């Protein structure tokens, strides 16, 4: 017979969401069991956010050295050591890993079980020969790279985000299937580190972002020598000449694209395999596990958070949902998730950031009641001093309150945060327009675009008449 463990909360998956629930709940006094079959820290630490941004940082350093610009710098004998870039990525992962380790969580009081979890009943799970019975269960198993059904793909060696960071030698010519955030971030990273890069996309690149602003980022990628091809229908892949050959069509014309390595970045699939969710009465599909606003599954004692839900697949969303689950599962509070002000960032250079509604969404939902305001990086003094004038902010406003913000430019992921705060707290545009921003900073861009809301009112003929009348009074 297996060992039987009873607990208050059982968390399946030690990624960002699961770890947040486990750490928070145990420190509040709950008994917590955590099950993880792979690496602690999940996709974000080991295969996603951390390694990708670390590689991008190495690539940005290479870019700065190879293109010092017109500010007086001169660098001779520049070269890239790809192995050192690889080592940097893994050193960063290693530096963060102790925070997510089994040892740390066991010190917190969490019972950690290494093994695959399988439901055996509505409140019961088996893992590593143990039976765990819990009052509440949280599924936080995340997602994995979705592999498209392309003829021949199963016959060749290809990379996903789970394996690409293990490369110790630079690819001569990296082919990437998928022009979403992951595909384009990796395209720029490898290009800046010296690889030729071709990106193939079935539809259009960055489809979820504002097309005007996405075009700024895409133009920069193309200017750096990345070959981005959209509306590509891939028919077959095969090994050829020690590399990869792709047969495709565009507008009815046959294409042959050859490269040395292939990266699949064609979306994500929720990790539900092997859980035997039917035994727990948890409805699910290939799109993920549906939940209500309290993040409860069809079995109301079982919650799902993060990528496995199939919704917004971001680390910060999983962390936010962890807080919602703790309030529901521990305190029985009817706390509901609100995704109105969830920001996201594509970490290309320039960065592309979004929170709330895009212009298209705002116009579709509110028609003429929405006002679109813009401000350009080229009109910002700090951007001029740094030579980073390619960028723009677009603000969607209704009834004096921001309902969406889109941004492209250096540090867009940092600058978007003030609009995430404003939208989540339902602040008026005047709150940002009236703040005192230090000069010269990129942050003044947000103050400038907010101030544009009042331009027509302040400098109107009516205002001029009011001022002239007051001045006549002495």
Which runs of E-coded beta strand occur in 324-381?
Answer: 344-346, 351-356, 370-376
What pLDDT is recorded for position 110? 98
Task: Give 321-347 pLDDT, tens digit per residue.
Answer: 999 999 999 999 999 999 999 999 999
Residue 82 has pLDDT above 90, yes or no: yes
Question: CATH for 344-458?
Answer: 3.30.390.30
What pLDDT digit, counting tens, does each position of 365-405 carry? Answer: 999 999 999 999 999 999 999 999 999 999 999 999 999 99
Q: What is the pLDDT of residue 1?
A: 54
Instruction: Find out whether 142 is annotated in a ligand binding site.
Output: yes
CA 158 to chain centre: 23
For 101-124, the pLDDT digits (tens) are 999 999 999 999 999 999 999 999
Q: Domain ranges for the chain, please list them.
A: 3-40+101-144+269-329, 153-266, 344-458
Query: Is 153-266 in the same CATH topology as 3-40+101-144+269-329?
Result: yes
The pLDDT score that the predictor gives to residue 444 is 97
Q: Is 185 annotated as a binding residue?
A: yes
Q: Is 141 marked within a binding site?
A: yes
184 is in an annotated binding site: yes
Mean pLDDT over 16-21 rounds to 96
Residue 260 pLDDT greater than 70, yes or no: yes
Cα 305 to Cα 20, 29, 332, 404, 472: the distances in Å are 11, 21, 17, 25, 65
What average pLDDT does range 146-170 have in this prediction? 95
pLDDT tier at 72, thresholds 50, 70, 90? confident
> How confident is residue 270, by pLDDT bands cut at 50, 70 and 90?
very high
What residues are paired with 196 via a beta bridge?
173
Among the residue ranges 76-80, 162-166, 182-186, the one predicted with the least confidence is 76-80
pLDDT digits (tens, 9 = 90+) for 201-212: 999 999 999 999
Asked if 39 and 61 touch (Cβ cutoff 8 Å), the reply is no
Listed range (74-78, 126-130, 246-250, 317-321) with the worst mean pLDDT: 74-78
Q: Return the pLDDT at 71.
A: 74
User: What pLDDT, on a 0 to 100 scale, did the predictor assign at position 54?
Assistant: 97
Residue 105 makes CB contacts below 8 A (sequence gap 6+) with 14, 19, 22, 23, 26, 34, 40, 112
The pLDDT tens digits of the residues spanning 222-239 come to 999 999 999 999 999 999
In this prediction the pTM is: 0.93
Cα gap 198→229, rounded to integer Å = 8
DSSP class of residue 332 equals -
404 appears as a binding residue in the annotation = no
Residue 368 among known ligand-binding residues? no
* Rounded Cα distance, 405 and 373, in Å: 9
- Residues 6 or more apart in contact with residue 188 via CB below 8 angstroms: 56, 59, 221, 224, 226, 348, 349
User: H or E segment at 418?
Assistant: helix 417-424
Average model confidence (pLDDT) for the chain? 95
Residue 2's pLDDT band (cuts 50, 70, 90): low
* Cα 152 from chain centre: 30
Which residue pairs from 64-68 have beta carbons closer than 8 angstroms and sit at least 24 positions apart in sequence? 66/192
Mean pLDDT score, 349-373:
97
Q: Is position 455 annotated in a ligand binding site?
A: no
Give residue-wise pLDDT tens across range 447-467: 999 999 998 887 778 878 888
- Hunting for tokens 């995340």 — which residue is that? 142
Residue 376: φ, ψ to 5°: -105, 145
- The CATH-assigned architecture of domain 153-266 is 3-Layer(bba) Sandwich (3.50)
Half-sphere exposure of 388 (CA within 13 A, CB side): 16
307 is in an annotated binding site: yes
* 183 annotated ligand-binding residue: yes
Long-range contacts at 420-428 (CB < 8 A, ≥ 24 apart): 420/341, 420/342, 420/343, 420/355, 421/341, 423/340, 423/341, 423/355, 423/356, 424/338, 424/340, 424/341, 426/401, 427/401, 427/402, 428/400, 428/401
Q: With 0-12 CB in 10 A as exposed, 13-18 as middle and 19+ as buried, what is 218?
A: buried
Cis check for the bond before 440: say yes or no (omega within 30 of 0): yes
At residue 190, does pLDDT exceed 90? yes
Looking up tokens 């406003």, which residue turns up? 397
Supply the DSSP symbol for 34. Answer: E
More confident call, 76 vs 290: 290
pLDDT at 65: 85
The pLDDT of residue 474 is: 76
CB atoms within 10 A of CB 330: 18
pLDDT band of residue 472 (cuts 50, 70, 90) is confident
Specify the CATH architecture of the domain 3-40+101-144+269-329: 3-Layer(bba) Sandwich (3.50)
Report the alpha-carbon distance of residue 100 to residue 102 in Å, rounded. 7
């Amino acid at each position: 017979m297996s060992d039987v463990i009873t607990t208050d909360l059982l968390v399946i998956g030690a990624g960002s969401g699961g770890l947040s629930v486990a750490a928070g709940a145990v420190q509040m006094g709950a008994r917590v069991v955590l099950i993880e079959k792979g690496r602690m820290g999940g996709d974000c630490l080991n295969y996603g956010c951390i390694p990708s941004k670390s590689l991008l940082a190495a690539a940005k350093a290479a870019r700065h050295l190879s293109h010092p610009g017109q500010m007086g710098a001169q660098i001779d004998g520049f070269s890239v050591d790809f192995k050192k870039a690889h080592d940097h990525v893994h050193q960063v992962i290693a530096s963060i890993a102790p925070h997510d380790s089994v040892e740390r969580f066991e010190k917190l009081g969490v019972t950690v079980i290494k093994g695959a979890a399988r439901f055996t009943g509505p409140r019961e799970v088996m893992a590593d020969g143990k039976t765990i019975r819990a009052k509440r269960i949280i599924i936080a198993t995340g997602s994995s790279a979705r592999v498209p059904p392309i003829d021949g793909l199963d016959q060749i060696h290809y990379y996903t985000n789970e394996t690409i960071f293990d490369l110790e030698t630079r690819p001569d010519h990296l082919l990437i299937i998928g022009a979403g955030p992951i595909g384009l971030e990796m395209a720029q990273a490898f290009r800046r580190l010296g690889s030729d890069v071709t990106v193939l996309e079935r539809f259009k690149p960055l489809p979820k972002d504002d097309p005007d602003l996405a075009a700024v980022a895409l133009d920069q990628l193309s200017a750096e020598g990345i070959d981005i091809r959209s509306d590509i229908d891939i028919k077959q892949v095969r090994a050829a000449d020690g590399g990869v050959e792709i047969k495709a069509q565009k507008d009815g014309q046959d294409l042959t694209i050859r490269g040395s390595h292939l990266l699949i970045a064609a979306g994500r699939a929720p990790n539900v395999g092997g859980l035997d969710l039917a035994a727990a009465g948890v409805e699910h599909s290939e799109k993920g596990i549906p939940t209500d606003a309290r993040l409860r599954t069809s079995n109301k004692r079982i919650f799902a958070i993060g990528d496995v839900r199939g919704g917004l697949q971001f680390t910060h969303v999983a962390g936010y949902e962890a807080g919602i689950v703790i309030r529901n599962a521990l305190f029985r509070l009817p706390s509901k998730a609100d995704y109105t002000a969830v920001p996201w960032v594509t970490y290309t250079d320039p960065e592309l950031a979004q929170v709330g509604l895009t212009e298209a969404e705002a116009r579709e939902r509110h028609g003429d009641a929405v006002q679109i305001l813009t401000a350009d990086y080229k009109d910002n003094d700090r951007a001029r001093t740094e030579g980073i004038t390619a960028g723009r902010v677009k603000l969607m406003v209704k009834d004096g309150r921001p309902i969406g913000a889109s941004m492209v430019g250096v540090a867009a992921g940092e600058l978007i945060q003030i609009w995430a705060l404003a939208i989540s707290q339902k602040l008026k545009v005047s709150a940002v327009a009236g703040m005192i921003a230090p000069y010269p900073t990129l942050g003044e861009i947000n103050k400038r675009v907010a101030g544009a809301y009042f331009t027509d009112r302040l400098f109107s003929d009516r205002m001029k008449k009011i001022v002239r009348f007051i001045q006549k009074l002495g």
